[in-house]
């Protein structure tokens, strides 16, 4: 059953706060993983929430989001737009390289396909975190990021506000991004990768190497 109240306190650094019920009573703990709205929660906003209990039997918000005008006015987190620019720029670069014959369509298609799969994996993992269901192992997410799904992961992190505050996760995520981009660069220009380029259908007479050396 949905309740209404005021998000009377919120610590965005730690990702939690407290909701004061509309009719008064004990404050309800609210964690960022249970936030179902857009953007980031802000204190002193009216919210709708459901009630649940933690392992110790203490009340907590099962899911909460802004109510009324506050819900309509909630903005997308600024990080989402930056992530969108990075992802669009990356795919634009891949499209340009394909258009010029420097790499086969299979590579942009692979990035797009794995990114789409990983985007929905993040969505499912966020839902699992909110409901207390079985989570997707972090190593599985990182493997998909390493295999070309990092653009989808970057968007999903900001769209769902998921995994953005965990420093250890972000460290491995960006290592996976750098490793993936390093592998792509090696595939495009390294002499040792020539046989692999031939198998993938590169036009070696229009190699990208003259653009660099």
Q: What are the backbone dihedrals phi and psi of residue 138, each rounded to the nearest 5 degrees, phi first?
A: -60, -35
Q: Provide mean pLDDT across the span 191-207.
A: 71
Decide if pLDDT at 39 tops 90: no
Q: Where in the chain is the domain with CATH 2.40.50.140?
A: 3-73
8 A C-beta contact, residue 98 and residue 105: yes
- Residue 66, helix vs strand vs coil: strand
Q: Provide mean pLDDT across the span 33-44.
A: 79
Of the listed ranges 25-34, 54-63, 108-117, the least confidently predicted one is 54-63
Beta strands 28-31 and 46-53 are unpaired
Residue 149 DSSP one-character state: I
Share of the chain above pLDDT 90, in %: 38
Of the listed ranges 31-35, 93-97, 206-210, the least confidently predicted one is 206-210
Answer yes or no: CATH 2.40.50.140 is held by domain 3-73.
Answer: yes
pTM for the predicted model, two decimal places? 0.66
Query: To which H or E segment does residue 129 belong?
Result: helix 106-131
Q: Provide mean pLDDT across the span 21-48.
A: 83
Q: What is the pLDDT of residue 70?
A: 52
Q: What is the pLDDT of residue 155?
A: 95
Burial grade of 35 (CB within 10 A; 0-12, 13-18, 19 or more): buried
In this prediction, residue 89 has a pLDDT band, given cuts at 50, 70 and 90, of: very high
Q: What is the pLDDT of residue 80?
A: 86
Decide if pLDDT at 205 tops 50: no
d(CA 201, CA 102) in angstroms, rounded, equals 10
d(CA 162, CA 152) in angstroms, rounded, equals 13
Q: What is the pLDDT of residue 73?
A: 45
Q: What is the pLDDT of residue 53?
A: 81
Q: What is the pLDDT of residue 178?
A: 98
Q: What is the pLDDT of residue 76?
A: 56
Q: What is the pLDDT of residue 102?
A: 81
In this prediction, residue 195 has a pLDDT band, given cuts at 50, 70 and 90, of: confident
Of the listed ranges 57-71, 76-90, 141-155, the least confidently predicted one is 57-71
């Amino acid at each position: 059953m949905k309740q209404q109240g005021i998000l009377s306190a919120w610590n965005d650094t730690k990702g939690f706060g407290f909701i004061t019920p509309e009719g008064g009573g004990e404050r309800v703990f609210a964690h960022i993983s249970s936030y179902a709205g857009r953007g980031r929660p802000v204190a002193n906003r009216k919210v709708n929430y459901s009630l649940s209990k933690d392992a110790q039997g203490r009340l907590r918000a099962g899911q909460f989001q802004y109510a009324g005008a506050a819900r309509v006015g909630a903005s997308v987190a600024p990080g989402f737009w930056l992530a969108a620019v990075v992802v669009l720029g990356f795919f634009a670069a891949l499209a340009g390289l394909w258009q010029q014959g420097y790499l086969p369509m299979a590579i942009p298609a692979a990035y797009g396909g794995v990114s789409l799969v990983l985007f929905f994996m993040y969505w499912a993992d966020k839902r699992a975190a909110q409901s207390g269901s079985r989570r997707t192992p972090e190593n599985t997410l990182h493997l998909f990021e390493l295999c070309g799904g990092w653009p989808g992961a970057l968007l999903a992190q900001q769209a769902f506000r998921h995994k953005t505050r965990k420093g250890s996760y972000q460290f491995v995520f960006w290592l996976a991004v750098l490793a993936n981009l390093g592998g792509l660069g090696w595939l495009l220009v390294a002499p040792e990768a020539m046989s692999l380029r031939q198998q993938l259908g590169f036009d070696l007479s229009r190699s990208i190497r003259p653009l660099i050396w």
